[in-house]
Chains A and B, each alone.
Chain A
């Protein structure tokens, strides 16, 4: 029998090495640290994605943007009514509209204790301006941005830029976060490696596990503004000690965890699992971001058959939003039909040209249009991502609708990252290119011509699909110069009509992220970007 003990001893020896040393040493630390953490209020949230990339200027990923709002602050911000308000700085504008003077408020500190200076802001704005699409318009109109004293930033323009404050306050993606000048000196296409901001939360670097967990603690020296929090503006008062974002790859696990009280928030719950939660008295199922997301189909303008606008129009006529949304989301409480490219119920919302989309499509008319356009049965390669849940169903519906209208469809399944890579290929569809892919844009980053990511239609330098539409570009340029909301609305209407007429993309309906919140967690602001100031956590 003795022989059987030997493997056991080997196991003991294995434990007796590094593991036990770690165990004892860390145990001692935890015994003491545990006392300090005993009374801490920690919010544990499962966000829509794991956080891996920490530079909110380099990456347009929403989770990285959300991280940015925890750690960094912005000079100005939109309030809940969509009006730009002072945040880190107040401003004055010269009478000729060519000079903006920003004054940093008192008491602004970075997490390392250093004062936030105008030089930090200038360096951060320059890096952001070299990266962000909307900021590039602003920078093109800029003569100089200078720190004229320790707390004053003087922004001189070559020509009036009425939307300067809107661009500075934009929430997505990429916001104009302020970093220390030494960090902002990092080239705009290289990720930063130091994560010091002046926002209401500090990142606990030692607890960061990429894709798994990130921990923030309240920045004790943060001085909130005195106004009440509203939108992304106002006082960012932090009422909890720590916020932990954990990622859970299995949606069912997150549902179970919130039911048992292990977590406090699921930012984006899987809709088919919601009936279990809707019956629970301990949690609230809600739509926090009323703008939601818009699904869309994008055609490739470079290759047949969609280099022909008549065929693009035939394809759009074949599609119906209800079929797409019913398949993708299912529950009509969480989706709505909307033909407005800037979102419905928004200041620029306008549904011109979306009649057939909202009526479920018109296959017979689409067939006629296709025939009249001289479609020669060229195969239409549709890329279908199979690994991102419900989004993978959209291309299947699109393919079915197009087939019914007479298109020769080649639906090609692949993982999302392959799609992301392949959509950048300008090759022919038969040589690794593509004809259609579907994706979605968040309402907050697609609600004006300034920020909408898919609108740029400058051919090879535009967004994937490479639409070349000088008329649309001229309208976008006009929008930048519009000085009143009425003018903006009028131009947005023309852009809507142009996008639908030239089929720059096809809006496939809007849907919401459905948030599940423990009832212990209250006062969460109804912002498109999830924020953790203002919230309260009951014991």
Chain B
């Protein structure tokens, strides 16, 4: 197992190197000039030109790339062209809201979706199955911003139970964190419940048709035990894959929900950086996102062994 982990971890390096090269080149080929953006709309061409020179944007691209790679090898993602803040510090300050809301979303999604999917599979073809599937299709089809606005209208604007927007770090009080995070997390949960419940149902239906389930029933094992221990456990691998990739997607930033609820997460950081052509921040965010995907996939692969002893690395 350890050898496998080391091998997979080392495999990250060439992946990240290729990502770094592609990202760097694509950004330089995209129209846009960070110097013009910083100088502002009233700046003269002369002012912008002097900014470009001072910012090193007139250097040959290969020199800029080597400079950036040199920084990367020292663990330094560079400095934001706009704010002058270190990209490491920017990401460190913006990843927590995204991480906490992603965790809350995943926990709520799993707690709601797995029982729903299990009931749907158990009651396959009956009314409860249809209801769960209708909820799933609806949850997946309605755009997140619509769900978000509906929640804001009901719980924040009308009932005044929860704030409309903003984010509070849990370090400043878990209650306040929850008050601010619950609506965005619920909004995201709507879609993820739909996805996970459908996967749970499909996977469980597949397992419930196996011979060993019939054998368990024949041996007189109770229905809940058959369903949960024999069925759900064996159906867990695809569910785990969906939950894991969903978590990686959430960690990459959920721009719409972050905008609707004004959450300073990494989704907004990325979009703002793209709009402003803040190259070092965009490069840092894409590298981070790639790294998250690679590591979450590794974690999912390792987690398979918890549910299926036949899987060995």
Contact = CB atoms under 8 A, between A and B. Distances in A.
Contact of B172 (A26, A173, A257): A26
Given A53-B38, A262-B166, A464 B262 contact: no
B171 A3 contact: no
Interface stretch (A323-331, A416-424, A521-529): A416-424
Contacts, number: 172
Interface string A403-414: 000000000001
A129 B17 CA distance: 45
A252 B169 contact: no
Nearest to A50: B272
A453 B42 contact: yes
B156 interface: yes
A257 B268 contact: no
Interface residues of A, number: 70
Q: Which of B39, B40, B45, B163 has the most CB of A within 10 A?
A: B40
B33 A52 contact: no
Contacts of A246: 166, 262
Contact of B262 (A24, A250, A460, A461): A250
Interface string A207-218: 001111100000
A98 interface: no
Contacts of B264: 209, 212-213
Contacts of A14: 103
A1 interface: yes
Given A1-B228, A213-B264, A131 B45 contact: no
Interface in B11-53: 31-33, 36-48, 50-51, 53
A439 B41 contact: yes
Contacts of A441: 42
A510 B260 CA distance: 30
A27 B172 contact: yes
Most A Cβ at <10 Å: residue of B45, B48, B85: B45
Nearest to A192: B84
A30 B173 contact: yes
Contact of A209 (B53, B93, B157, B233): B93
Interface class of chain B by DSSP: helix
A191 B262 contact: no
B170 interface: yes
Nearest to B162: A260
- Could you say which interface size class chain B belongs to? 35 or more
A248 interface: yes
B82 A22 contact: no
A256 B82 contact: no
A31 to B, nearest CB: 9
B260 A250 contact: yes
Contacts of A193: 84
Interface string A186-214: 01111101000000000000000111110
B262 A421 contact: no
Contacts of A334: none
A269 to B, nearest CB: 15
B276 A52 contact: yes
Nearest to A213: B264
Contacts of A460: 45
Given A209-B264, A421-B33, A456 B44 contact: yes
A60 B172 contact: no
Given A253-B261, A260-B157, A53 B36 contact: no
A420 B275 CA distance: 11
Contacts of B303: 7
A23 B42 CA distance: 45
Given A421-B31, A445-B42, A26 B80 contact: no
Nearest to A212: B264
Contact of A252 (B46, B149, B228, B272): B149
A253 to B, nearest CB: 5
A253 B93 contact: no
B307 interface: yes
Contact of B163 (A30, A260, A417, A445): A260
B41 A424 contact: no
Nearest to B82: A52
Contacts of B141: none
A393 interface: no
Interface string B155-179: 0110010011110011111100000
A415 interface: yes
Contacts of A131: 47
Contacts of B47: 60, 131, 189
A211 B246 CA distance: 27
B233 A417 contact: no
B82 A53 contact: yes
Interface string A14-58: 100001001111110010000000000000000000101110001
A191 B55 CA distance: 10
B157 A256 contact: yes
Given A30-B173, A193-B84, A422 B31 contact: yes
A26 B37 CA distance: 36
B54 interface: yes
Contact of B39 (A60, A211, A260): A60
B171 A25 contact: yes
A2 to B, nearest CB: 10
A163 B171 CA distance: 54
Interface in B76-132: 80, 82-85, 90, 93-94, 96, 100, 103, 107
B106 to A, nearest CB: 9
B289 interface: no
B114 to A, nearest CB: 9
Contacts of B100: 19
B32 A418 contact: yes
A6 interface: yes
A249 interface: yes
Contact of A249 (B39, B233, B268): B268
A64 interface: yes
Given A250-B260, A464-B45, A260 B156 contact: yes
A420 B41 contact: yes
A210 B83 contact: yes
25 contacts: A26-B171, A27-B171, A27-B173, A30-B173, A52-B272, A131-B47, A191-B84, A211-B272, A212-B264, A249-B259, A249-B268, A250-B262, A253-B152, A253-B165, A253-B260, A256-B152, A262-B163, A262-B164, A420-B33, A424-B36, A424-B48, A460-B45, A461-B45, A461-B46, A463-B44
Given A27-B172, A54-B83, A417-B275, 13 more contacts: A27-B173, A53-B82, A64-B40, A187-B54, A189-B50, A189-B51, A211-B269, A213-B264, A253-B152, A418-B32, A421-B33, A421-B36, A424-B48
Interface of B: 31-33, 36-48, 50-51, 53-54, 80, 82-85, 90, 93-94, 96, 100, 103, 107, 149, 152, 156-157, 160, 163-166, 169-174, 228-229, 233, 259-262, 264, 268-269, 272, 275-277, 303, 306-307
